[in-house]
Structure 1
Amino acid sequence: MKDETLNQSSRRPVNANTDLRLRTKQFALRFMRMYVALPKTELAHVLGKQALRSGTSAGANYREAFRAWSGPELVSKIGDCLKILDEPAYWLKLLVESGVVPTERMTCLQQETNEQLAIFTTTTNKATSRMNNPL
């Protein structure tokens, strides 16, 4: 919540980077809630822990990208976010296909994962294009 408050109090306009920072944070929080709500079985714990770890790391890596020293480093770090987002998609599928969680309980989280994959794919492609074709 601090990010939203700081944004409002400083009267900075919300831009795509800020929006994606908030969205990746909300994504991580959804994975935390999903993990807590899983059945208390060994299989749910093992798969859920993997999903939790991978689902919470995209936002941290996205924030790290903005500490890059150069354009190529920025592109590389945003590309890392793309790779990282593919992992929770895998664990969510395993949670569903193993029968640990019904499909309908994971639909929204799977959809958000796919949307973020698309966003980071576009972001990576645009950043690469800008780097290769400077104005």
Structure 2
Amino acid sequence: MNGQPNPIVTLSFAFALEIIEFCDQLEEKRKYTLANQLLRSGTSIGANVKEAQAAESKKDFVHKMKIAYKEAEETIYWLKLCEASKSYPNPNRLLLQLETLLKILGKIISTSKKTLAL
């Protein structure tokens, strides 16, 4: 590594911290099932991004980034359920952060796949 901060690692880690706080709010409202699902998918994004940094090959890197992307999509689902439910905290800020993460992950995946084809 070149010692430079990696933006996707930094962003996905910060997002995981935000998800933990949001899940704490859900648990305070006794929304345990949704909190558990959201905690798993929301923190898995960053875990997969971090794991991709030590990938064994470019193909492995792309695979792990795709998993992170899928986890982000699942997280959107759980947050949208919160958004649509009257007695849940508002997840709009998290949804906006996820849009950014998905754009970056998508770009990383597409760029990496292009270099695989070369």
Q: Partner letter of residue 108 of structure 1?
A: R
Structure 1 residue matching 2:4: 3-state secondary structure: coil
Alignment pair present for 1:94 and 2:81: yes
Kindly indicate whether structure 1 or structure 2 has the higher relative contact order, using CA contacts under 8 Å at least 6 residues apart: 2
Equivalent residues of 1:89, 1:114 under 8 A apart: no
Cα contact 1:78–1:120 (8 A) shared by 2: yes
1:5 alignment partner in structure 2: none
Unaligned runs of 5+ in 2: none
Quote the Cα distance in structure 1 between the aligned partners of 2:92 and 2:21.
Answer: 15
Task: Tell me how far apart the structure 2 counterparts of residues 13 and 61 of structure 1 sit (CA, whole Å).
Answer: 19
Q: Tell me how large the CA RMSD over aligned residues is.
A: 1.6
Q: Which runs of 5+ in 1 are unaligned?
A: 1-10
Deviation for aligned residue 1:51: 0.8
| In 2: Cα distance, 1:117 partner to 1:25 partner | 14
What is the TM-score when the length of structure 2 is the normalising length?
Answer: 0.89
Number of residue-to-residue matches in the alignment: 116
Instruction: Please give the TM-score of this superposition, normalised by the length of structure 1.
Output: 0.79
**Correspondence 1:40 to 2:37:** no
Percentage of matched positions with identical amino acids: 29
- Give the Cα separation in 1 of the matches to 2:17 and 2:49: 15
- Which residue, 111, 115, 120 being the options, matches 2:105? 120
How far 1:40 moved relative to its partner?
Answer: 2.2
> How far did residue 67 of structure 1 move?
1.8
Q: Which residue of 2 aligns with 1:21?
A: 9
In structure 1, give the amino acid aligned to 2:96: Q
